Structure 1
Amino acid sequence: MKRGRVFLFSSIFTTALSAATTVFGIFVTNKLMYIKKKDDRFIYDREIKAQRFDEAWYKNCRKEEMLIDSPNGYQVKGVFLQPLDTKNTVIISHGVTENKMNSMKYARMYERLGFNTFVFDHRRHGESGGKTTSYGHYEKFDLQAVVQTVRSIIGDDAILGIHGESMGAATTLLYAGSIEDNADFYIADCAFSDFSKQVSHVIKKSTVLRTQLPVHLANIFLRIRDGYSIWDVSPKEAVSNIESPILFVHSLQDDFILPEMSEEMYEVKKGPKMFKKFEKGAHAQSFNDNPVEYEKTVKEFLEKYVFNQANLQSVSEET
């Protein structure tokens, strides 16, 4: 009789534990896969109000809207902005919950620096397809399709850069370090170095949990539900394979993605690199709070590692 009761209680406990684990796993992965995005109208109004988006400029700017087929099975929506008579172009990769409207501020900066720009919506954001957000894992293949399309238009002789912010920066580094280093330079603004560390940081910051168990549980369910592991998303590992110049940017006040993550990747990067730390600015606010110094930093980076190298290569080919 006692043995029967023990077995019954054990079965109930095991079932309850399994159910709780399943509920928790689904809850956490839902938060990751279907993270709540900012409303498109909210982003538009915010950028207008902050005077980071010039509606009149955009209306009169020479541009081409494009739909690019993703190898993941949907279309990526982008806009090729061509205010200048140049082939030199920068692809701008926005952060999670944002859309291509958030990239317009950088488009104006690059116009002043002599570049046209291609802005696009990540999967499940803005006007692009895709059902889940994967923090760079699937997004890097979308970026590959974007790079190949833009490169086919501007040609191999043109300078091509990629500028990423937050998740877009992580995506940029994952693309360049694990698929193809097919750009002349990269700018990684407040990228996380390792997704497992980032998830752990967010859980510790927003809950009382202080163990790695939630991350491991989330990883199990993420593999089942979305086909990849949290540990697969590691920009820090990718950076060691990137030969082209990288400018790392991070605000010291960023408590969402810690500046130490950019420091880790800067140390790992071999070859040409720069690191700019801004005293002022929360997460992904370095440009917004320091526009003049930010542009000056990008110009310095380009003059040191991109324009000079392009001129040297041109002279070498002529001789």
Structure 2
Amino acid sequence: MKKRFLVATAIVSSTLTASFAALGFATSNRLMYVKNKDAALVLERETNAKRYDETWYAKVKKSEQWIESANGYPIKAIFLEPHTTNRYVIICHGVTESKMNSFKYVRMFERLGFNSVVYDHRRHGESGGKTTSFGHYEKLDLQAVVKALKVHAGPSLFFGIHGESMGAATTLLYAGMEDSADFYISDCAYSDSSEQILHVMRTTTPIRTSLALRLANVFLKLRDGYSITTVSPREVVKNIMKPVLFIHSLPDEFVLPEMTKELFELKQGPKELKLFEQGEHAQSFNKNPDEYEGMVREFLTAHDLLAPKPLVGVPQIPS
């Protein structure tokens, strides 16, 4: 009888262990290899919505660059330079998107007198990298893009960084690590990736407990070398001294606007907060383009960031 009990206990224990391992592996897989949108469909969507103008793109001065990430793969970037100026904005797209989603912001910043840099996050678009890490490795890729821009533009560079969703979280994580830009715009960032992932799991899957995330975190550490609990903009936003404009849409049910409100409260020094009444997740610009651009202009003006920074001996094109 005792032997049967021990055998049964061993079987149950092994089954539970295998089940937990399978759950952790499957959840970590879903995070590491989140399904990206088809590039052709993104291009079609942006073109049909008139947020991407093929004629403009064919004529605008631009250069493509492959930038080597400290993580060991190439990052595809495009430097778009409609103006003769030392002012640039690096634009960081959201998870599952690509640099094509950033062109709407390129045109906005062009009207504000800025050149732009768009690029693909790791494992997105044309860039290398095998996994998505929700900002952990992406912040180092952004650091590489910043370094490349400094080389490209020279010592007189004046620049900002605009991020949307995961790109916004990446922007804040980078700024909290290396506050080198002159300003930042964070559009619908999550304040903590583990809380965000748990929220998505609870609202889109039958899973209601944090067990799957805790198990996934073990596998992420083993398989991808980081813990999702360390990917937390709220922990570093206090390190950012430069001006930050925080943006969110109140109807956003994917990344809750309370996360941006929290980040705004934690940020010390110059900051602004804009909450739009219309727009689902990452739709603030799409639903409110004129108001969005006006608000960005007001932010830049209020913090003396819009005035041209003249280059010695180089004629400037008026904004």
Q: In structure 1, what is the equivalent of residue 257 of structure 2?
A: 259
* TM superposition score normalised by structure 1: 0.95
How far is the alpha carbon of 1:214 from its aligned partner?
A: 1.8
1:27-60 CA distances to partner (integer Å, 9 max, x unpaired)? 1011100000000000000000100000000000
Aligned partners of 1:235, 1:37: CA distance in 2, in Å?
23
Amino acid at match of 2:273: F
Give matches, 1:1-319, under 5 Å: 2-178=1-177, 180-307=178-305
1:179-218 CA distances to partner (integer Å, 9 max, x unpaired)? x111000000000000111011011112333322222111
Gaps of 5+ in 1: 312-319
How far is the alpha carbon of 1:73 from its aligned partner?
A: 0.3
How far is the alpha carbon of 1:310 from its aligned partner?
A: 8.1
1:231-258 CA distances to partner (integer Å, 9 max, x unpaired)? 1100111100000000000000100000
Query: Stretches of 4+ moved more than 3 A in 1?
Result: 308-311
SS across alignment from 1:237: helix
SS across alignment from 2:245: strand
Higher mean C-alpha displacement, 23-32 vs 302-311: 302-311
How far is the alpha carbon of 1:110 from its aligned partner?
A: 0.2
How far is the alpha carbon of 1:300 from its aligned partner?
A: 0.4
1:134-166 CA distances to partner (integer Å, 9 max, x unpaired)? 000000000000001102222333320000000
Q: In structure 2, what is the equivalent of residue 316 of structure 1?
A: none
SS across alignment from 1:143: helix
Gaps of 5+ in 2: 310-319
Q: Report if aligned partners of 2:112, 2:306 keep a CA contact under 8 Å in 1.
A: no
Q: Report if aligned partners of 1:184, 1:306 keep a CA contact under 8 Å in 2.
A: no
Aligned partners of 2:298, 2:307: CA distance in 1, in Å?
13
Aligned partners of 2:176, 2:153: CA distance in 1, in Å?
23
SS across alignment from 1:64: strand
Q: Report if aligned partners of 2:163, 2:170 keep a CA contact under 8 Å in 1.
A: yes
SS across alignment from 2:162: strand
Amino acid at match of 1:304: A
1:240–1:65 distance in 2 versus 1, CA, 3 Å? same
Aligned partners of 1:297, 1:5: CA distance in 2, in Å?
72
Percent identity, please. 56
How far is the alpha carbon of 1:308 from its aligned partner?
A: 7.0
SS across alignment from 1:125: coil
**Per chain length, whose mean CA-contact separation is higher, i.e. which structure has more relative contact order (CA < 8 Å, sep 6+)?**
2
SS across alignment from 1:53: coil
Aligned partners of 2:258, 2:168: CA distance in 1, in Å?
15
SS across alignment from 1:198: helix
Amino acid at match of 1:217: L
Count of residue correspondences = 309
* TM superposition score normalised by structure 2: 0.95
RMSD of the TM alignment (CA)? 1.2
SS across alignment from 1:240: helix
How far is the alpha carbon of 1:220 from its aligned partner?
A: 0.8
How far is the alpha carbon of 1:132 from its aligned partner?
A: 0.2
Amino acid at match of 2:235: E
Aligned partners of 1:304, 1:121: CA distance in 2, in Å?
31
Amino acid at match of 2:294: K
1:57-80 CA distances to partner (integer Å, 9 max, x unpaired)? 000000000000000000000000
Aligned partners of 1:130, 1:91: CA distance in 2, in Å?
20
Amino acid at match of 1:40: A
Q: Report if aligned partners of 2:75, 2:121 keep a CA contact under 8 Å in 1.
A: yes
1:5–1:306 distance in 2 versus 1, CA, 3 Å? farther
1:272–1:104 distance in 2 versus 1, CA, 3 Å? same
Q: Report if aligned partners of 1:166, 1:284 keep a CA contact under 8 Å in 2.
A: yes
